[in-house]
Structure 1
Amino acid sequence: MSTTRAALHRKDTAKPGDLHMSFELGDKSWKLTFGDGGGTASRHTVAAGDQAGVADCIARAGKRFKTSARAQVHSCYEAGRDGWWLHRWLTGLGVDNIVVDAASIEVNRRARRAKTDRLDGDKLLTMLLRHHHGERVWSVLREPTASQEDERRDHREFERLTHERTAHTSRIRSLLVLHNLRPSVPIGGRYWATWWSQHSEQLGRRLREEIERELTRLRLVKEQVRQIEVARQRELQDARQPTVAQLMRLVGIGARGACVLAHEVFGWRQFANRRELAGCIGVAPTPYASGNSHIEQGISKAGNRRARSVLVELAWCWLRLQPESAMTKWFNQRFARGGARMRRIGIVALARRLAIALWRFLRDGELPSGARLKAIQT
């Protein structure tokens, strides 16, 4: 839930008599804070996920603040584990709800500051009132549809499983080194069974059993990875995924990168300009200019980390597979002759340019300068 948009500002979106509500969501209980802008607050606690309790609290707060039956209810909560179901449920009740990027909420900068659920609820309520009176106080997340949210599950699980697969192989390799065994074949691969049968007797019984259990978990993870890859291949043949198919037309972009970019960013987001796109994926600059100090602090990283990571990987592939493109020539001229640090800086800059080029390619059909398309298979 890290994709943000700028909150409304310089426009008063609240009316006198409206009811405002903030949620402080916990694992076991929720703290609800109500106010009408008059300076007083009403606080309630309900069990986590208790929809009937939330609806009852809204009704009781309306009676306490004497709001009319036609008054609008405005609410907010921080993005977190509960995701979007609460937002959709509140919207279905007619509540004007927003989901806030937690990192964009202003906090007291004292080294020791009081922090309780009650204070956090009051703070959210105060900022919600300021937001609806025209101030730009935080970043508001854009809501994907239920189907768009569901489409992101496969590649996110794939990412988690590949990390788990690496963890299992690294653990097995570390256990083998305890007896100076260094496999010359990939662990769990085609020739692993032969190697393991030849060397397993050199280990103690308990260590051998521990490695066998790790191998069982590794086989399970690899089978689940294979299932996701098969599902991805079926998805690529689905005509309902035009964004993925169009991205894969470019040399250097494969199935995984196209799926991540389509489902995380390009498949459902609309951008007014390249700065919005850079902010969405967290590659916008963060200058520090105060008095005589002018420092560039690097990219913000306040965006979609999965899309940013994939774009950096694709940028390296782009250098190798699109050598005649204008972006590759620009990188080679500016950064290729520098050291490793300069190349790392340059590849992030190239990733930002690549994201903008792909956005224009999807929106307008504008092929990146000098880029090649894959040959059409007949």
Structure 2
Amino acid sequence: MRFGLPADARVVSCYEAGRDGFWLHRALWAMGVENAVVDSSSIEVNRRQRRAKTDRLDARKLVGMLFRWLWGDEKVWRVVRVPSVEEEDRRQLHRELVTARRDRARLVNRIKALLFGQGIRLSELKGLPDHVAELRQWNGEALPSGLQQRVLREWQKVEERTEQIGILLKERRERLRTGEDAGSECARRLCQLRGIGENAAWLFSLEFFSWRKFRNRREVGGLSGLVGTPSDSGETKRELGISKAGNRWVRGLAVEIAWGWLRYQPASELSQWYQRRFGQGSSRMRKVGIVALARKLLIALWRYSETGVVPAGAVLKS
């Protein structure tokens, strides 16, 4: 054997989570190598203003931290929970939907920018191909032919993205209605709550609840990045805001859903708690409070998805 090791020698490796995804992790385990995927942001670094950095130094540092981790120091870094192939594949639908919506918004903004550059401001682009020849520049003249053709080509891309979004939404609706996997079942349960729509239920389920195993509410809040970041030293106590760790899609949607929860579930204990604590405060205090409500709501939704216990005072859809 290489390095003079016996055939049954234990081999352990690690690499930083990133662009490589999880195929390398699965390939290493298939070859009998015990591998760990590490959150790169959890790796401690030298805080000197100037520090040497080479691939050799980085590799040595990872090996040293790997030894510490194997010896029982679990806090030396954070190991990423690797989803199964099926769990990872289920996330492709809504991620493609997010990408398609962003592409469409980018194309619409580009068309508006092209027209704005000629002194034309349109609030709505509906039916643009039928009226592009009627548009007039600042001096009353028609758009140049080259610009008209470019606008029409960009609009064709918008229509392609719109068609793609419609197909994806139809497929998501079908999976939500008939899917038998854990993600679809969790999303169906979340959809029963008033104030939780298909988009939120699907994303919370596929990105957060259905394939991760949370042991307590602190893990839910920590992974969503909605927990505080204390900065205490001696008698000085400061709060640096939320940690913003974990899944940014879940974190952003949780804050958005929290505003909707106040509207659609005003009689729930969470909404009443928010009104008592922040309802009469300033605009800034209400924004601070909505983050706290988002964290509490996410924990309540996790308990509901796991046990079926409806959040106190919440109402189900009729």
CA contact (8 A) 2:129 2:152 kept: no
Question: What is the DSSP-based 3-state SS (H/G/I as helix, E as strand, rest coil) of the residue aligned with 1:139?
Answer: coil
Aligned 1:219-230 pairs, distance under 5 A: 219-230=159-170
Q: Give the Å deviation of 1:193.
A: 4.1
Q: Give the aligned partner of residue 204 of structure 1.
A: 144
Counterparts of 2:258 and 2:120, CA distance in 1: 37
1:120-269 → structure 2 map (5 Å cutoff): 120-135=58-73, 136-184=75-123, 186-187=124-125, 189=126, 191-199=127-135, 202-240=142-180, 241-269=184-212
Is 1:330–2:273 an aligned residue pair?
A: yes
Structure 2 gap ranges (5+): none
**1:285–1:299 Cα contact (<8 Å) kept:** yes
What are the Cα deviations for residues 193-232 of structure 1, in whole angstroms up to 9, with x where unaligned?
Answer: 4443532672122222221222122112212111211111
In structure 1, how many angstroms separate the alpha carbons of the residues matched to 2:116 and 2:179?
Answer: 49
Q: Which secondary structure does the structure 1 equivalent of 2:76 belong to? A: coil
Query: So what's the TM-score if we normalise by structure 1?
Result: 0.79
Partner of 2:237: 294
Identity, in percent, stands at 45
- Larger proportion of strand: 1
Partner of 2:37, secondary structure, is strand
CA distance in 2 between counterparts of 1:305 and 1:148 reads: 19
Secondary structure of the equivalent of 1:69? coil
Q: Which amino acid aligns with 2:85?
A: A
Note if contact 2:133-2:148 (Cα within 8 Å) is conserved in structure 1: no
**Distance apart, 1:276 and its partner CA:** 0.7
Q: Which has the higher helix share?
A: 2
- Aligned-partner residue type, residue 207 of structure 2: E
Matching of residues 71-82 of structure 1 within 5 Å? 71-82=9-20
CA RMSD of aligned residues (A): 1.6
Q: CA deviation at 1:339?
A: 2.8
CA distance in 2: counterparts of 1:334 and 1:348, whole angstroms: 13
Q: Distance in 2 between matches of 1:333 and 1:197?
A: 57
User: Any gaps of 5 or more consecutive residues in structure 1?
Assistant: 1-58
SS in 2 for 1:253: coil
Secondary structure (helix, strand or coil) at the match of 2:121 reads coil
- SS where residue 140 of structure 1 aligns? coil
State the TM-score, normalized to the length of structure 2: 0.93
Question: In the alignment, is the contact (CA less than 8 A) between 1:183 and 1:195 conserved in 2?
Answer: no
Match of 1:370 in 2: 313
Write the distance in 2 (CA, Å) between the matches of 1:248 and 1:197. 46
Instruction: Tell me if 1:108 matches 2:41.
Output: no
Measure how far apart 1:148 and its partner are.
0.5
Paired with 1:224 and 1:235, the residues of 2 have a C-alpha distance of 17
